[in-house]
Amino acid sequence: MKNIVIFASGSGSNAENIADYFKDSKTVKITAVFTNNANAGVISKMEKFGIPCVVFTKEDFKSREYFTIKLYQYRPDLIVLAGFLWLIPNYLVNAYPNKIINIHPALLPKFGGKGMYGMHVHEAVKAANETETGITIHYVNTKFDDGKIIFQAKTILTEQDTPETIAQKIHELEMNNFPVEIEQILSKVN
Ligand code: GAR
């Protein structure tokens, strides 16, 4: 059995989709969702799957000893950031080399970096008159949206697209691709 721990800050539609994808798996288990937001939608979404949610503070996250022990209780083989908005501290990147991945709602290296999340990304894509956008799954390092790219999928944009329709196209790409890619990545993790 391989274990996934998901980190999420928001509504949790990706976490829910991943949980649904693996719910009957004999080889992959989501052992916990970690969130920095006690009001995050992801918390209620995990109830039906019986997946425990761990809420943590900035202080908890800064404390190497506390957080390492807390996380290790869930034995992650892979840590999946699904709409998680804090930078991952050095000690965690070092403790889980090539075992932390993130999904970003644009074609990195474009439209990444601090402040580039959710609708901000789609608004920037629209403002730049891009003819395509997409999703990027990448390994996590200590900078925002900067690690080695594992997978990208694209969608075409027209002049009629708005930030809202772009968000919808990205959502579909995320739903269709993220769990499958996680399964692929996990099959190579030792
Ligand atoms: C997703 O679109 C994800 O790609 C994005 O946040 C959204 C979370 O939605 N992540 C970033 O922007 C990271 N820079 P969700 O909570 O419904 O899964």
For residue range 143-166, list pLDDT tens digits in order: 999 999 999 999 999 999 999 999
Taking the model in full, what pTM does it have? 0.97
- Domain ranges, ordered by start, for the chain: 2-188
User: What's the CA-to-centroid distance between 131 and ligand 1, angstroms?
Assistant: 21
Reported confidence tier of residue 190, pLDDT bands at 50, 70, 90 = confident
Q: In a mutational test of the pocket of ligand 1, which residue from 9, 13, 177 has the highest number of ligand atoms less than 8 Å from its CB? A: 13
To the question of domain 2-188 being in CATH 3.40.630.30, the answer is no
The pair phi, psi for residue 24, each rounded to 5°, is -105, 15
Any residues with CB less than 8 A from the CB of 58 and at least 6 apart, and which? 36, 86
Residues with Cβ within 6 A of ligand 1? 8, 10-14, 82-83, 103-105, 116-118, 121, 145, 170, 174
Name the phi and psi angles at 125, rounded to 5: -65, -45
